[in-house]
Structure 1
Amino acid sequence: MLKEVAADTNIIVYLMIIVGVIGVLAKVINQITLRRLVKAAGSMSKSTHKLIKLVRAKYEHACMAHDSVENTDAFVEKYIFEYRGFLFRIHTWRQLELQAIWFSGILAALGASAHYLSYGFNESVFQYIAAGAAEMVFLFVIRQLSDEPYKINAAKIYMVDYLENICSCRYKKQKTPEKEAINVIAADSTAKMAPVREESDAAPAESGVPAKAEPNLSINIEGEPRDVKKGEEVRQSVRRTMKEKLEEQGEPALKEEAIRQILEEFLA
């Protein structure tokens, strides 16, 4: 049934026309999008293009967060691939151009096959083959009229050049005075805090409150321990001398005087 519908009607011809229009439309939209993008990237500092404004804002934010962007090429490519010119991304429109070429050839082959199976080898088969080949060549030539990879690369180079050689240097120059100002403020604050610390350290001494003396934990290891036996011998010798003098002097007054002399000698 489908074979008879394809052979008796011109539905395949209409489908081929629709595919051709889609291919041409994708080429026109992509061409306009890339031309605007390249023009905006060429004057990136003054451009109001939405992609250029987005890339500038994201790059400045990345520089503020990380001081610099390590791979600027990948940073720019990411936003170019995600950019939607009209409904679809640039890559999607390029794929529609390529797929339109292949679908026109496939539809022409189907129409020729349907006519051949229904009516045999006749003039309509040649017409489908010729129309399909002509449409494929036409779409291929239109696709090659403008070098789209070159335009994408040119827009990328303009953007990378501006970000690395102009925007990055300008941001570094603006950030250097800020760092110097921060260092000066930090130095002033430390200089102001130093006298306050000295006053706080000297306050206990001026107020008359005695500072806590540190415990003297030093140990005199040079001294020798007392000889207990030697002390006992000295006491016994003193007692013996006292007894001998008392025996020699029998009077009590003399005894007291003798005891006093002995004590003085002992204490001396």
Structure 2
Amino acid sequence: MEQLETKLKVSNISKTFFNKKDYFTAIEDVSFDVKDGEFLVILGPGRCGKTVLLNIIAGLVEKTSGSVIYDGKEINGVDPEMGMVFQKTALMPFKTVMENVELGLKFSGMDKKKRREICQKYIDLVGLQGFENSYPNALSGGMKQRVGIARAYANNPKLLIMDEPFGALDAQTRYSMQNEVLRIWEQEKRTVIYVTNNIEEAIYLGTRIVLLSKCPASVKAEYTIDLPRPRDMVSDEFMNLRTKISENTDLSV
């Protein structure tokens, strides 16, 4: 197997929130590496601290202890090479698909013609050609998530962080969007960190899984997924791996 370089190194990250009367530890001594070009899935139960961990990696939340090293440098604040796709689409309701996708490039000062060319590429890539002038209220949940993915990619991130982006979708749309994300990942060759609380989704998408415990989150295990793509969720290999992970998880399964 090809040895990939380490893109991101999370070392002994802990996060404790304090108030006047009490404190709450969300993450405790979490460490793992992310390889360049891989699709790493962080799997853990709801409210275990996964989103807090992602926000620390993205530079949005200050850690209590530990370090996050990206391309050899410690992260202190937001890194422009990272993009995020959230569970809530966070689209501007008064802006069209094109206007939502181009927001980051517009704020960076890029001229309109160039940013429209870039954004059109990613609108086409996520399958929304013909909807450039549509507003969010005219889009389905899956289409809104496609806009969010296109917006993230338009900003040319080297590392894309996805925080349970399909958790609110129905099963059929979720499966369709999983395949879309894999197609884009295979085409774009970006590094992806994807968070989920769904074991099947983790095995279906990931090259590797980091399994977190219940809160406060710590790393319980790591699993390398060597199953060929496209993956068959009812194959013996898939089901055996699902059983192995489920027996070591704090998820309700």
Note whether the superposition's TM-score is higher than 0.5. no
Bin for the TM-score computed over the shorter chain:
under 0.3
| Structure whose CA Rg is larger | 1
Task: Please state which structure has a larger fraction of its residues in helix.
Answer: 1
More RCO (CA 8 Å, sep 6+): 2
TM-score, normalization by structure 1: 0.20
Task: Please state which structure has a larger fraction of its residues in strand.
Answer: 2
